[in-house]
Structure 1
Amino acid sequence: MAHTLIDIPFEQRHQCWFCGEPSELTFGFPHQYFLVFDCSHPPLSVPSCRECTAFARKAKQHSIWAVANNVKHFLAQTYQKDLAIGINWTKEELANSEFESGNFVGFQKSAWMMYEIAKQRLNYQGWVLSLEGVELDVDYIGTEFTFDGVTYPSVDLAIEHFIETYDLSAENFKKALAIVGIDKFGKAVRFCRLLIGRTPEQQKLALRYFAEDEKLG
């Protein structure tokens, strides 16, 4: 199958379309790893880095935009620990942590940089796709969710990320979100962190009070 390389803006000629990192390869879609018979756009290829190319080949989707969403999902899972740095620390806290020896020194020096790189790759939005000057119609509605400066491919992935980062009860967190709604995602996180270490009875009672307070506004 012949793929046409998308039009590439001059200032982005060396960027991966998926994450913005330096591109080394191109990813053609549809491809031999997943046959698509109802693709809404012509066969095309986009510049990509090696990691995103590998992720894209695993995506079983029917358009390049859906593939891109899957790639973000893989990136978020792969770099979960790096993204968690920005949740558990601030740049100032790391800089002033005063660890001058031991294993923590390397972490102190590189951690914030790794967080920033992971965040930038996840937040990156590829340029509008066009072939030989003709812009392609997007037929995919994304399910992205942004919280605390990080754009997750979906709210479900954001939920998984915070459950694992803070070791929250998945059941309690989802119940808290159902009470306050995803617009108050941070409030649900803060509440569920208070439940850590509490007995099941205490957690159940706290959830009841939490729901009553939310009704009262």
Structure 2
Amino acid sequence: MSNNSNKAVPHAKRIANADTDQYYQSEQSLHQHVDHSLAHQEIETPFNFRHCCWFCQEPSQLRLLFPSTKQRLIDCTHQAISVPICGECKSLAKTSQASDIYRCREQIKKALAKRYQKDLAIGKNWTKEELANAGFEGGSFEGFARSGWMMFEIARDRVNFSGWPLWCNGEQIEDTTLGKQFIFDGVAYSDLSQAVDFYVKTFGLHKDFFVECIKIIGVKRFGHAIRFARLYIGYSSKERREILNDLAITEQSH
């Protein structure tokens, strides 16, 4: 597809059809270089997910063969399996060096969140009602007002989707990432570090300052740390140090 034809496709539609090879990758570029002497066993798929990508729940007609080589199978914690996957997730999986399918999923989730940073940020800067009543009718932002919330919901749901428990040949494949997720404001992040990076980029926070705020205030008050860090964007290093000292004293007195 040419660059001109890409631009002609509405952004929301591109997200909704993220599994299509026509937009993201050609079928040839999505080809997975696999050692076919490996006996990849298909995972058990619940009926209601029979046409879904295990990684993001988008429509799927492709398979990810994991691991792809006998060499990688040496370090893999489970048998060679075949997992349903959409075109976009498969293109992201090509660079994964994960030792198991769950860590591969974690890497894909991070890549999706990074790719759709702007769409996810819509839900942090607006509510559905605010966007609908923003008064953008007839202006250059009318399309954003109409489809912005849907774009956020699609991106959020893809990042949040956790797949279904993996069973193969009657054995369950253990989730090695269980308990690592950090969930805040309705979005699941692979870990706290990813959530920090997301809000640093979304609000233009000073990362070190924000991390120190979290250490002082506590992870359980992550939202408060965001609001506090947003108050001091653009301050000098000396001013930030003084602010952190004052914050630590205040927190200790509570």
* TM-score, reference length from structure 2: 0.81
Quick one: which amino acid aligns to residue 132 of structure 2?
A: A
**What residue is the counterpart of 1:7 in the other structure?**
44
1:77 is the counterpart of 2:114: yes
Correspondence 1:181 to 2:235: no
Distance 2:195 2:141 in 1: 27
Q: CA deviation at 1:72?
A: 0.6
- Correspondence for 2:77: 40
Does residue 94 in structure 1 map to residue 110 in structure 2? no
**Whole-Å separation in 1 of the counterparts to 2:52 and 2:42:** 14
- Structure 1 pair 139/171, CA: closer, same or farther in 2 (3 Å)? closer
1:117/1:33 CA distance change after superposition, 3 Å: farther
Q: Which moved more, 1:134-143 or 1:3-12?
A: 134-143
Amino acid at match of 2:160: N
Q: Quick one: distance in 1 between partners of 2:69 and 2:170?
A: 27
Q: How does 1:98-109 map to 2 (within 5 A)?
A: 98-109=135-146
Partner residue in 2 for 1:170: 207
Question: Is the 8 Å Cα contact of residues 33 and 57 (structure 1) preserved in structure 2?
Answer: no
1:191 Cα deviation after fit: 0.5
How far apart in 2 are the matches of 1:78 and 1:182? 25
- Answer whether contact 2:64 2:83 (CA < 8 A) is retained: yes
Corresponding position: 1:119 with 2:156? yes
Whether the 8 Å contact between 2:73 and 2:79 is mirrored in structure 1 is: no
Structure 2 counterpart of 1:55, from 92, 110, 122: 92
1:194 and 1:17 mapped to 2: Cα distance?
40
Distance 1:160 1:134 in 2: 36
Whole-angstrom CA distance in 1 between matches of 2:236 and 2:100: 47
Q: 1:200 deviation in Å?
A: 4.0
- Partner Cα separation in structure 2 for residue 149 and residue 80 of structure 1: 15
Matched, 1:23 2:71: no
Q: Is the 8 A contact 2:103 2:176 kept in 1?
A: no
* SS of corresponding position for 2:64: strand
Residue 175 of structure 1: how far off its partner (Å): 1.1
Aligned residue-pair number: 217
What amino acid is the match of 1:124? F
Counterpart residue number, 2:197: 160
Q: Give the Cα–Cα distance (whole angstroms) in 1 for the partners of residues 141 and 94 of structure 2.
A: 36
Unaligned runs of 5+ in 1: none
Q: Is the 8 A contact 1:34 1:60 kept in 2?
A: no
Q: Equivalent residue of 1:37, what SS?
A: helix
- Return the alpha-carbon distance in structure 2 between the equivalents of residues 129 and 113 of structure 1: 30
Tell me, what secondary structure is at the counterpart of 1:46?
strand
State the secondary structure of the residue aligned to 2:75: coil
Identity %: 42
2:233 to 184, 196, 207: 196
Cα contact 1:180–1:188 (8 A) shared by 2: yes
